[in-house]
């Protein structure tokens, strides 16, 4: 082992971390090598100097100060605890607030549909007491949510208007002598005010009414209520708008009807939505046109082979003013006329036309016979009803031709 190798291991030799054999080799080298021996002495002196450094006593109060800080740290909350202490205060407050807001929101959300439903149904229910029939229509969505206070105001206004309508209907009772005389006493309550009875049906929902109840109430061959109501629902318009004379194009109406039939579900929805304002009472009376009564004595014999539908159709072509609705009504009247001739009994047909078509309708009707009775109800005073009076509901009583066995005339009307 040369000097370089020995000096490399002198530190280990100094610490006696070598085995005996290698330590002996190094010891033998140091005895014979003054340079390595001098280096070994220097390292040993350094070790002695460091190990000979005195032990320095810490400050007297060192333990006390350390333990004071330790106890303070033990009693003080940890970092997590310091972070969570404010949360322990805030979490209940904020959590309670969030829970309360959530509960309130759920409560208001659940209460909203009930208010809507009540807003739709309370008018006809409270007016006519048809709870079981109105329930099946369900709630109708309003176009926009209304504040409860405003909704309440609208409800009160609607109740006022409905009450006005009811008053007007009741005032018409003595003006409907035909109905009172031509039906059974048991049905007199319902038939005393046929306009009101019809109004009940139309108020509930014209789009979903079936003709069966009307067939039972009115013993007529042709009940125009169904096609009329169906047409209302398909068009999705209020009756006054549908039969306005400004839209006389048959092709357009036919295309519109076909499209409406193809999109029946959506159209029905639009029909319902178009009647949504009725739920609030603002336009509820839109389905209640004015009422006229006509009693016609058929000519004997009928000289013209053309039925009224054909005549009206040709007239419409000539005048270009009759609507598809008028043509439909004419067909119904023609069927009633044939029934009256065949059975010799009077027939009643309900017709709903545009008000401005009344004269045309009456002229065409006069070709079938003599108009013996013509009456009308007073003009409505309400702005709402007046606005909706574009439509005219006419009760047409077709009397068989005069004969020894003819039916008696209806009672004398009070109108014009």
Partner 1 sequence: MHAEGIGDAECVRRVQQGDTDSFEILVRRHQRAIFNLVYRLLGDYDEAAEVAQEVFLSAYKSIGQFRGEANFSTWLYRIGLNHASTRRKSMNNIQQRHVPLDGAEVIADGAVDPAKSFEHKEIQQRVQQALNRLDPDDARIILLRDLQDVPYEDVAEMLDIPVGTVKSRLHRARQALKTNLAPYFQANRKAS
Residues at the site binding partner 1, with contacts judged by CB under 8 A: 8, 10-12, 15, 17, 42-43, 45-47, 49-59, 62-63, 65-67, 69-71, 73-74
- In angstroms, what is the minimal distance from the CB of 87 to partner 1? 22
Helices (H), 250-357: 250-262, 264-274, 276-279, 308-319, 324-343
Smallest gap from Cβ 43 to partner 1, in A, equals 5
**β 369-376/347-354 pair status:** unpaired
Shortest spacing between CB 22 and partner 1, in angstroms: 13
304 in Cβ contact with 369 (< 8 Å): no
Q: Which helix (H) or strand (E) holds 130?
A: none
Place of tokens 């006054």: 240
Cβ closest to partner 1, residue 70 vs residue 89 = 70
Q: Which residues contact 355 (CB under 8 A, 6 or more apart)?
A: 290, 389, 390, 391, 392
Residue (17 or 343) nearer to partner 1, CB: 17
Q: What 8-state DSSP symbol labels residue 392?
A: E
Q: How far is the CB of 91 from partner 1 (least distance, A)?
A: 26
Bond into 344 cis (ω within 30): no
Nearer to partner 1 by Cβ, of 51 and 265: the residue is 51
User: What is the Cα–Cα distance from 112 to 115, expressed in whole angstroms?
Assistant: 5
Specify the residue, 17 or 24, whose C-beta has the smaller distance to partner 1: 17
Least Å distance, CB 18 to partner 1, is: 10
Closer residue to partner 1 in complex, CB, 7/384: 7
Measure the CA–CA gap between 378 and 339, rounded to whole angstroms: 31
Q: Select 50 or 147, whichever has its Cβ closest to partner 1.
A: 50
Residue 25 is encoded by which pair of tokens? 């080799």
| Burial group, residue 34, by CB count within 10 angstroms (0-12, 13-18, 19+) | exposed
Q: Distance between CA 30 and CA 412 in Å, rounded?
A: 156
Nearer to partner 1, 30 or 385 (CB): 30
Q: Could you tell me the smallest distance in angstroms from the CB atom of residue 33 to partner 1?
A: 18
- Least gap, CB of 9 to partner 1 (angstroms): 8
């Amino acid at each position: 082992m040369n000097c370089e190798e020995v000096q490399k291991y002198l530190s280990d030799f100094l610490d006696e971390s070598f085995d005996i054999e290698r330590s002996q080799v190094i010891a033998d080298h140091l005895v014979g090598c003054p340079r390595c021996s001098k280096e070994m002495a220097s390292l040993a002196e350094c070790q002695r100097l460091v190990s000979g450094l005195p032990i320095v006593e810490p400050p007297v109060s060192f333990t006390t100060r350390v333990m004071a800080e330790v106890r303070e740290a033990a009693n003080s909350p940890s970092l997590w605890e310091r972070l969570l202490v404010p949360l322990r205060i805030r979490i209940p407050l904020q959590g309670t607030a969030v829970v309360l807001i959530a509960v309130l929101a759920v409560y208001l959300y659940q209460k909203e549909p009930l208010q809507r439903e009540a807003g739709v149904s309370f008018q006809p229910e409270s007016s006519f007491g048809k709870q079981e029939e109105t329930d099946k229509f369900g709630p109708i969505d309003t176009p926009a949510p209304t504040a409860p206070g405003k909704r309440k105001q609208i409800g009160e206004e609607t109740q006022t208007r409905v009450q006005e309508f009811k008053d007007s209907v009741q005032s018409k009772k003595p003006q409907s002598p035909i109905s009172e005389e031509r039906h059974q006493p048991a049905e007199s309550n319902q038939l005393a005010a046929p306009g009101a009875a019809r109004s009940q049906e139309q108020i509930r929902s014209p789009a979903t009414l079936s003709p069966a109840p009307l067939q039972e109430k009115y013993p007529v061959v042709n009940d125009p209520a169904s096609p009329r109501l169906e047409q209302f629902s398909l068009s999705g318009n209020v009756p006054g708008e549908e039969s306005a004379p400004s839209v006389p194009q048959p092709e357009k109406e036919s295309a519109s009807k076909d499209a409406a039939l193809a999109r029946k579900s959506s159209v029905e929805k639009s029909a319902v939505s178009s009647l949504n304002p009725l739920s609030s009472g603002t336009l509820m009376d839109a389905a209640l046109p004015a009422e006229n009564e006509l009693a016609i004595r058929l000519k004997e014999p009928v000289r013209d082979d053309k039925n009224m539908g054909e005549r009206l159709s040709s007239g419409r072509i000539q005048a270009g003013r009759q609507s598809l609705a008028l043509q439909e009504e004419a067909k119904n009247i023609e069927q009633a006329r044939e029934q009256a001739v065949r059975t010799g009994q009077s027939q009643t047909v309900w017709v709903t036309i545009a008000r401005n078509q009344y004269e045309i309708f009456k002229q065409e009707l006069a070709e079938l016979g003599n108009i013996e009775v013509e009456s009308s109800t007073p003009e409505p005073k309400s702005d709402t009803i007046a606005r909706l009076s574009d439509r005219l509901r006419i009760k047409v009583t077709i009397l068989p031709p005069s004969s020894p066995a003819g039916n008696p005339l209806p009672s004398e009307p009070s109108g014009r």
